Every structure is written in structure tokens, then in C-alpha cells.
Structure 1
């Protein structure tokens, strides 16, 4: 039996705590492929993610705070380029940017440059972290894959900035932290004490009252975020400025989608399509043992292949509908069969919807979001 997430999602403290730079170097040297996520052990509301494979870097991003980070990076590095659409925080940067690239027919070379710039900025923060909680997901990749660059090529141009961020870690751990003015008089006194620093720091006094992170402060004040953090570090040490976390973490339960399919390719496709959009994917590859796990987990939506060894999807769906705890859960049949008789058999077995292979990620996501929302609405009635 092969499946993942059959137990409750572990807390950050249950994950190994590592030095991010060492982990990244090890994965690259072993030419492993996958996705590394590092959560800041001092502020679990902040985490960074790196995609890589075959010794090459594919992309790096924050897992949150896109509406704060991307405007800063774009204004600093590509001032003539503006995102014309609002940037949601509940999706991945890569997914959002790829949709934007396709919708606006951006030149591929320009778009790759944009991805490289964002990757470099994220790597500065990833590599500067002294410790973090590790999650490594082998063979999780990007679709489409548009950037593949040597690690050294991306890191060498920003090596000095990485070292500076690393030196600041003991005082200010992340540009996502939110500085708050505690003592205005002491702040101004310290600002003017540094030769020539007081004037531009005096201009951000009002901004320090607005619950902004360092990225937002730098964007609004038109400053380099590393310069701003370096200038404010003495004020933090002296107590003139306090630091708040990026956000207060509340326990969030991600909707769970169970995928019952003996194809590793389909499992990977479903995982990539749904996890970036906030779903947890429960992978079940043995249909005969899937029912036990489904009862244990009670997912929000069940995706089920029809053609599987040992037990086909029709039979499994009928068994699901006979279990009180599962009978109201939406079941989507995944199949290459398009015939009317096959659809009728699926309906008679109790399935909710029918998705014909091959299907695209947007089609799958839209259906799962619809069924998940409908199920949540029914459960609240």
C-alpha cells in the first residue's frame, strides 16, 4: 500500500531543523530533484521554497507575502514592468506569474529574466537563514519548467548581500518582519547619530505606525530593503523599534483531496495542480486498501480512477457510498473512457462528477474548488 498524509499533518516542531544552505548544497551535489521548503524556526509565519533538479535551480519563492515581496523586487529590478492585476497571497508566485506571462504574451527571454531575478532575491533570504524547519518533497517540480540555471550562476552575483543578511539575522531575521516604533525620541536621536542617516530615516517615522513589513516600507520609501534593515538594526537593538511577526499563525485546516489512482504520473499531476492552490493531496495507489484510509481521513473530495488492478473505480465508489461517514463526500471519476454507457455506470455507482483524461490543471482545479466549496456549505447547514 502506498499513500501519503495518512496521519494528521505534522506541526513545524515535528519536522527536522536544519541549516538551509547545507541542505541545498547537499541536494544539488546529489543532483536530486524536488522541492525544498524551509520555515523560519523563529517566526513560523515565514517560509521559503526552492525547486531544483539535476543539479540545476528552477525557481525560488516565498510561500506567503507575495503582495509585499513582488512589488518591491519588481520596482527595484524592473521599474518599467508593472503587474496590471492584483496579486493574491493564496497561490504560488510561479503559478501566478506563468498565468500572467501567457495572458499577456510576454517575451520568453524577458520572462526568464524575471524568474531569475525573483529566484536570486528569494535565495538571499533562504541561504541567510541560520536554521529552519525542513520539508523536502522529491520529484515535485514545475509545469511549465521555464528556468534551469546553475546554482553558482544565480548566487555569485548576490553573494555579498547573502553575507550581509546573514550578519543581520541576530537582530532582524527577515524582510517580512514588521517593525513598530516604540520610542520616537530615541529613534530620531539614534538616526541622526549616524552620519547622514537621519534624513531618510526621519521620513519613514509615519510608516512605522502602519503595520508594514520591511518590504512594504522599502517600496513606499523607495529604498533598498537591505540598506533599510541595516540602518534600522541599531534602533531595534536599542529598543526604539520592536519587531512583530509577519502574521499571527492561526491553525489552518487545508481542504483534503484524496486521489485513488495506481498511476504515479496521475498522482504527481494531481499533486502539482492542487497543492499550489491550497489543497492537501492524499495519494492512494492501492484501491483495495483505500477505503480504510478514506474512512480514517474523511477527505473533502475523492478523485478516483476507473481502471485499476484488483478493484475498479465503480466497485470502490459503490463501497464508499455504503459508508455513512463517506456517502456525502463528492467523488470524481478520472478516466479515459468517454462513452455514454461508461458515464451511466459511473453515475449508477454513485459518482458526483466525471473527468475525462487527459484534462488540464485548470479544469481539475476548478472542479475540485467547486465541489469542495459545495461540500463545505452543506456541512455548515
Structure 2
């Protein structure tokens, strides 16, 4: 089963999976709409949720028509770490050995199970985290208006700690989505960062305990979504709690592209961490172009044009990120990615697959073998650098310049 969200909505897809008692996984990709940037503010709020206006993907795993797990497509572990903070667990696990081959499609899920097996968390906490992550995944999906989906029948994500009934979740979260829209335009996105804008009025109007909590969380570094995880609350509850303060101007909501004084950052203003990037691509011209762009931004870039040599050379280079073309002779990108994911050393190294223009199925297959993300050719220097910064730099931000010089690849 596959199609576009303009033809069938997420709620209906979930209902069909439940009624058919299907086992497998649903992959959903949002579609960036450049036209949404041309709409007036009110239209944008009504039709294009702000976090929908970039390419993003999600996975939802099912067993006999029930939900086992849900995650964002980039396989980040930070979502679970945010919940660990709520339970006062200071540190998780770093690049541990995972013993769940069935979980290769979801390193995040395997990470959760490893925390459980290492007795860092107990089953009750693990179930609570799963429920929270499924809830926020469905919240994002039920907010989507544009995108594509593929549901693949297959074996269930294993082992299962819990399964969640679809109908109650579907009904509950659909209602929350409707209530969320009533918070516009004061609150736009779960990715917004609350920051105290009028500390004097806050001090004179609110009890000291409330002021203390606002000062702790409204630091311009913690998003509404992260705050919900830290507090183990749903996104709507947190948004409603801060809504009166935002409405009165005591709190300001900004995006990660802004500093505390409201200045918008561009690429030149962002502090970069040196990182080593390996590009596996049999086209020499493409490798040279990618190297030039990355080196100009202070990265160490290494190219491997012979895919048969890639696996051994990567162990020598020990990269922080890997770019890998899908279509190559003798050994394709899927095989290379699968081999790397079976190695403990590269279990969590970001792997970005380079796909063709019509690579929708390619992207799904790339996720299956453990790819972190993908970049569709031809791409711009801006798109390449944005994706690299997302996975190498410890600070996340959104690119705001209009420099879109195309790479002819």
C-alpha cells in the first residue's frame, strides 16, 4: 500500500492497518512546499504547519494492527535522552553493542532495549518512553497535509515491550491536533524555543515558584517538544501551559536560527566543529565538487571512488559522517550501508545516501538497511552543508540565506 496524503489522510491509513490487523511498517515523508512561503501568515498557519515545511520522514511499526513503536526518520537518539532527563538518568549509553538484528530498522528502539537490559531503566519507564514517542510521532503525522507514504508488510519489530491500540490514539491525538491549531498564531510549532522576554513583568506578576520554573526552561535552548519530553507531558499540554505567557508577551517563541537578541544566523556566523567526512561515489567529478564544498567550510573530506575498497578504507579513515551513492558498479550503496551497520564501530555513524531524482523507492530501501538520511541529486551546496551540519555539528539550526548555487551532479 502506498500513495499520497492528498488522496488519503494519515488517520484513514492507520484505521486500515488496524482493521486489516497488519504487521509491518509505515514510512511517511512530508513534502516541502516552496509555495507555502508565498502565502500570507493566516493561510500558512491554516494549511501548512511550520514543521511540515521541510523534508522529513517518520516510521511507525505495527504488529497485528497495533503500534509497536514510532520514530522520526533520522534515527537520532536524542529523543530518548530527553526522556531520561525526566527520570533523572544523567547519562545513557555510548555506541554500545546491540544484539537485536530485528531492530536494525530502528537503532533508537534498539538503544531503548539496551538501556533496559543494562538496568539503566526499568520496564515501566521503557513503556512510558515508548508511549510518549509514539504519541509525538502520531501528533506530527496527523498534522501533515502533504506527503507520501508506503506501508510494507513484513516481520514485526522485535522484541516487543508493549503494543498500543490505534483507535483510541487516533481519536485522542486528532482532537489534540484540532486544539493545537487554535493556538495559532501565538504558537506555531513544537520546534519553537521559549525565551523570557519581560523578566520584570514576570517577577511582579507571578509567584516565585512559577518564575523559577520559567527561568529554568525558557532559556532559548529548549524547544516546546523537548520540554514536553523532559516533563513527560504531551506537546499540547505544554503549549497550553505557556500560551497565556506568550499571549501577554512575557515569553517569546523563537526558532533555532535566532540568537537570544533575535539575530538570524547564516552559515558564515555558525561555529563549526571540525569533522571528517568520507564520500563513496564512483563519479570522480562529483567527488571533487563535494570535496571542494566541504573543505571550504573547514571539514576534512576524503573520497573513495572504488566501492570495493570502501569498507576497508573507511576503517582506516574513521569518519564522523559518510556520504554514499546508491548506484555503483560491483557493490552498491545498500550493500555498503548494510555492511557498515553490522559493525559496532559504525553502528551510529551518520550515513547519508545519495539518490537519483526519482529515488522514492531507493530512499525506502536505504532506510531498511540503516541509512540515517538521504540527499537527492542534483542538490545545492546549501542542501549539502545543511545536512552535514545537522549530523556533525552539535548545534542544530535552520539555514536562512538565499544562496542556492546548484551543483551540476
**TM-score interval, smaller chain:** 0.3 to 0.5
**TM-score where L is the length of structure 1:** 0.48
Rg larger in structure: 1
**TM-score where L is the length of structure 2:** 0.45
